[in-house]
Amino acid sequence: MRQIKNRFWLMVCAVLCLCMLSGCSAADTNAKELDPSFASVLCQTAEGDLTAFSSIDEAKLDEMEATAKKIKDNALIGGLSSWRSIMPETGKLVEILSSEAMETEDGNYECIVTAAFEKRNVEFKVFYEETFYEGRDSVLMATSYSFTPEYTTGEKMAKAAMNTAMGMGTVFLVLIFISVLISCFKYINAWENSQKAAKASQAPAAPAPAPEPMESLTADDLTEDLELVAVITAAIAAFDSTVSADGLVVRSIKRVPGAKWKRA
């Protein structure tokens, strides 16, 4: 029982330490407060930028994007692209609800404006950078614009369900495609075998081996050739009429080179 209590208090201490660390990190990352008058100027500038963006309709958007790309204003290009993406979901600007300006850790400035549109509220965020010019006062330059629409819980759930359905549908479609592809392997194999069989049937037959020439036969081979022995015996008997073919015995047959043997 005592060990359980010790473990419980250890867990509580660990959780408290994590909370303290997260609080310290959050406090470190919090933006610094600004002078009220300077913050008011930043907020008014950001509100003016939001009003300018919200007055751009689709007909002017393409023209302004082309101009921004021509002068290479990356902040304006990003802001116009962000406004284009949320334009169908917001409608016209109704009123500005709140604005807040602060200094970031890197010494720049950030202003967050919350505004009500016809369809939903939108958070407009602008980052400013202080730029110094020789012989002139510093100037605040906007480095980025972003629009973040606020969705209801039902809309968030619907989007999550849609994303889940699309992801699972894609996975199932890929699995079905793979199963169909695997099932086609047997037909591919049968087609390959039929092609091989067709090629084998169309191949020319192997030529018959040429008969062995008589010159390659040895004396023993000629002796075993009964037809040749009979022909030679009859030729000898016909040549010498006094000799009977019955009394002739062929012991061996040897080839004699020369024209007479070739004519025999």
Query: What CA dihedral angle connects 59, 143, 48 and 52, to 10 degrees?
Result: 0
Residue 135 lies in a domain: yes
Look at residue 20 in the predicted model and tell me its pLDDT. Answer: 56
- Arithmetic mean of pLDDT over the chain: 77
37 lies in the same domain as 141: yes
Residue 94 lies in a domain: yes
Q: What is the mean pLDDT of residues 32-41?
A: 81
Q: Is the pLDDT of residue 94 over 60?
A: yes
Q: Taking a C-beta distance cutoff of 8 angstroms, is the pair 46, 102 a contact?
A: no
Q: What is the mean pLDDT of residues 84-91?
A: 88
- Give dist(CA 180, CA 177) in Å, integer: 5
**Minimal CA–CA distance to 264: which of 221, 234, 244, 235?**
235
Q: What is the mean pLDDT of residues 244-259?
A: 64
| Distant-in-sequence, close-in-space partners of 254: CB < 8 Å, separation ≥ 6 | 219, 222
Q: Is the pLDDT of residue 219 over 50?
A: no
Residue 66 lies in a domain: yes
77 lies in the same domain as 149: yes
More confident residue, 68 or 205: 68
Q: Is the pLDDT of residue 131 over 70?
A: yes
Residue 194 lies in a domain: no
Look at residue 247 in the predicted model and tell me its pLDDT. Answer: 65
Q: Tell me which of 109, 136, 155 is where a domain ends.
A: 155
More confident residue, 90 or 6: 90
Look at residue 127 in the predicted model and tell me its pLDDT. Answer: 92
Predicted structure pTM score: 0.51
Residue 203 lies in a domain: no
- If pLDDT is split at 50, 70 and 90, which confidence band does 35 have? confident
34 lies in the same domain as 141: yes
121 lies in the same domain as 221: no
Look at residue 26 in the predicted model and tell me its pLDDT. Answer: 41
Q: Is the pLDDT of residue 256 over 90?
A: no
Residue 75 lies in a domain: yes
Number of domains in the chain: 2
Q: Tell me which of 125, 155, 185 is where a domain ends.
A: 155
Residue 185 lies in a domain: no
- Give dist(CA 33, CA 25) in Å, integer: 17
Q: Is the pLDDT of residue 197 over 70?
A: yes
**Minimal CA–CA distance to 26: which of 142, 143, 135, 105?**
105
222 lies in the same domain as 148: no
- Give dist(CA 12, CA 37) in Å, integer: 45
Domain that holds residue 247: 216-263
Q: Is the pLDDT of residue 44 over 80?
A: yes
Residue 109 lies in a domain: yes
Q: What is the mean pLDDT of residues 72-77?
A: 90
- If pLDDT is split at 50, 70 and 90, which confidence band does 50 have? very high
139 lies in the same domain as 245: no
Q: Taking a C-beta distance cutoff of 8 angstroms, is the pair 51, 93 a contact?
A: yes
Q: Tell me which of 103, 125, 155 is where a domain ends.
A: 155
